[in-house]
Amino acid sequence: MASDSTINLHVTDNIPLKIVCYNMYGFYQGYPLIEDLIATNRPDIILLQEHWLTPDNICKFDKLFPDFFSFGCSAMSKCVESGMLRGRPFGGVITLVNNKLRKCTETVKCDDRFAIIKVGDLLVVNVYLPCQGTADRLTIVEDIFSEIGGCFEHFSWCQYVIAGDFNCNLDSSDIIAQYVVSFINEWSLLRCDQMYPGPTPFTYVNSSLNHYSYIDYVLATSSRNVKKL
């Protein structure tokens, strides 16, 4: 079972937006659930991590989900450029936005670990932070949040949402968790999991393998703009 979360926000003209965040653990494993989420939850914005697609295959999102337009990139560009692919695919973030929001959506910035869009007066950040064991992990995280902070400063009048796979428990003593918490405090962000605690303390559950984790989060500027579904 891959992790996902859903929040409801109000942005320009008090229009409610439903945002779903989901780690696919591979495009072919994850896309059937996206179809179910679209049919049952009718989201306006879908934040996806770990699609594992090469640059040539990113177009699959637009083909399979014609009611949405996509923004993001592959994490495998450098591997493709260096020659024949070897090993398993990895990474990649992409954000799907309902076509009805096209006129009020602005693409801001993206890299292989984050994608930032602006919808009305809401800045939406989709992130996939490096896992434990990644070389230069802290430096990568610092660079990611430096980019995010720069966008926050540029769009200082906006509300902010950051969601995705943080690959760390924010309540732990992990150095990445502590860095993220300092960013949360600096920008006065709120954790949606603390505003609306779930029935389980985990965001990822695989009971057959006895794997459990709490590493996926949604952060928002104001609790007044967030509603539990």
2: confidence class by pLDDT, cuts 50, 70, 90: very low
Give the model's pLDDT for residue 85: 43
Rounded Cα distance between 24 and 4, Å, is: 9
Query: Taking 90 as the threshold, does the pLDDT of residue 12 lie above it?
Result: no
In percent, the amount of the chain with pLDDT more than 90 equals 63
Mean pLDDT of 206-229: 78
Question: 146 pLDDT exceeds 90?
Answer: yes
pLDDT of residue 196: 78
Lowest mean pLDDT among 59-73, 81-95, 208-222: 81-95
Is the confidence at residue 3, as pLDDT, over 50? no
Give the integer Cα–Cα distance in Å for 217 and 181: 12
Q: Are 151 and 109 in contact (CB under 8 A)?
A: yes
Which residues form the domain of 193? 4-227
Whether 201 shows a pLDDT value over 80: the answer reads: no
Whether the per-residue pLDDT at 114 is higher than 70: the answer is yes
Output 198 or 82, whichever has higher pLDDT: 198
Is residue 45 within 8 A of residue 120, CB to CB? The reply is: no
Is the whole-model pTM more than 0.85?
yes
Question: Domain count of the chain?
Answer: 1
31-65 per-position pLDDT tens digit: 999 999 999 989 999 999 999 898 889 899 999 99
CATH at residue 185: 3.60.10.10
pLDDT value for 84: 44
